[in-house]
Amino acid sequence: MPTYSLVDGNSFYCSCERAFNPRLKGKPVVVLSNNDGCVIARTSEAKALGIRMGEPWHEVRKRPECKTVMWFSSNYALYADMSRRVFDVLETFSPHVEPYSIDEMFMSLDGIGGDLAEYGRRIRSTVLKATKIPTCVGIGPTKTIAKLANKHAKDAHDLGGVCDLREERNRLELFGRWPVGEVWGIGPASAQRLERHGVRTVLDFIRMDARHVRDELSVVGARIQEELKGNSCLPLSMVAPMRKGLAVTRSFGTPVTEWQGMEEAIAAFAYRAGEKLREHGLVAGHLTVFMRTSEFRPGPKYGNQAAFTIEPTSDSLTLVKLATRAAHRLWRDGYTYAKGGVMLNDLTPPGARTGDLFPSKDPVKSANLMATLDELNARFGRGAVRSGATGLDRKWTVRTGNLSPRYTTSFEDALVVRA
């Protein structure tokens, strides 16, 4: 059975600010989004004041008890640099580290003997010493369980920041108390659907009929259920897959009512999008432009987007020209626009042709897929599983028996083969 751990920086953005400013220690600190609009990170002291994630800062700062809160505009260059430092430390503990987000890293602890909780404590103290970033460590037989363990390590202060849920008997009692919505991948919509079936806790969910889960929550839910049962479906991938798209979008600081203002904004977004593209050494073959009125303010609502294929490019001026032309078609007079953006998709290295395979495609996933395809073909006969089967988690076209349904999804078969 594999062993995963998830190492997660506590109040990461705030901790980064604290790392360079000792006076912030023990004080309520928040980091704000672009334009200083909302709170996107807060220390435990700030949480204790009732400041919620995503709350508009202009509302929070008015509250008397929040007058003393120290606040920072976000500094993503700093946070990315701190994230890399944490990664470097973790690599001294395991050769298999997958950065999942700026503040979370999955690690494989396979083959590491002894007391893993003790190992986790050593990871924490080493990271803290080297980077001044406090962390929590969750350990489990699957990524999804490691994620839950990490959350528990954060909540239960008697654990010393480390929680090991490898043993099933240690899990089940906790699972019976946790709402299913706390599981990684189960959001509000899924939780509501499950509630309708009387499923409230993680334990309820594990005990739900697998086919039923698939019908309600698709393969995504089925995979999560397997993971919670202790069967690993989500492998570690150390190679970052090639970026699939990028976006530059903003809420406007002051609402836009004139075409000229919109034109300038879209041009700036497109220009910046081109810069990002060049930073990654890629060109884009698909461009999307959108604009919309505020969701929060009264008045006439309007929103629209235009998406189209372009000659692959990363040239900012070309992108600006194409994007503003598209924006012009979307523009309607008489509205107060609050938001807009430019998105780029179909990213490839320059000069790539249709059908090229890029080395940056995740080799771990690819190897798993090919092995699984081979096994399925061996089982159902050569050529039984055809293209279109692009992963464990996608459509499988299985040519056995009657052909009636257009696609036969045999996720269960895939799981059997894996096991």
Partner DNA sequence: TCTGGGGTCCTAGGACCC
Site for DNA, rule CB under 7 A: 33-35, 37-38, 40, 53-54, 56, 58, 100-104, 147, 183-191, 218-220, 241, 243-255, 276, 286, 294, 296-297, 307-309, 338-339, 341, 343, 386-388, 391, 393-395, 397, 399, 402-404, 406, 409
Q: Residue 155 or 167: which CB sits closer to DNA?
A: 155
Closest separation between CB of residue 111 and DNA, Å? 27
Are the C-beta atoms of residues 418 and 372 closer than 8 Å to each other? yes
Closest separation between CB of residue 169 and DNA, Å? 26
DSSP string, 291-306: EEE-SSS-S---EEEE
Q: Which three-class secondary structure state does DSSP give residue 280? A: coil
Backbone φ and ψ of 385, nearest 5°:
-105, 125
Q: Residue 74 or 170: which CB sits closer to DNA?
A: 74
Q: Residue 25 or 84: which CB sits closer to DNA?
A: 84
Closest separation between CB of residue 285 and DNA, Å? 9
Closest separation between CB of residue 278 and DNA, Å? 13
Q: Residue 128 or 220: which CB sits closer to DNA?
A: 220
Are the C-beta atoms of residues 224 and 184 closer than 8 Å to each other? yes
Nearest CA to 25 out of 15, 40, 35 is that of 15
Q: How many CA atoms lie within 13 A of 135 on its CB side?
A: 32
Q: Residue 53 or 112: which CB sits closer to DNA?
A: 53
Q: Which three-class secondary structure state does DSSP give residue 42? A: strand
Are the C-beta atoms of residues 194 and 207 closer than 8 Å to each other? no
At position 120, the amino acid (one-letter code) is G
Residue 106 neighbours by CB under 8 Å, 6+ apart: 4, 5, 6, 97, 98, 100, 143, 146, 236
Q: Residue 70 or 344: which CB sits closer to DNA?
A: 344
Closest separation between CB of residue 26 and DNA, Å? 24
Closest separation between CB of residue 248 and DNA, Å? 4
Q: Residue 112 or 403: which CB sits closer to DNA?
A: 403
Closest separation between CB of residue 392 and DNA, Å? 8
For 62-85, b/e burial (b = at least 16 CB within 10 A) is eeeebeebbbbebeeeebeebbeb
Nearest CA to 10 out of 114, 154, 115 is that of 154
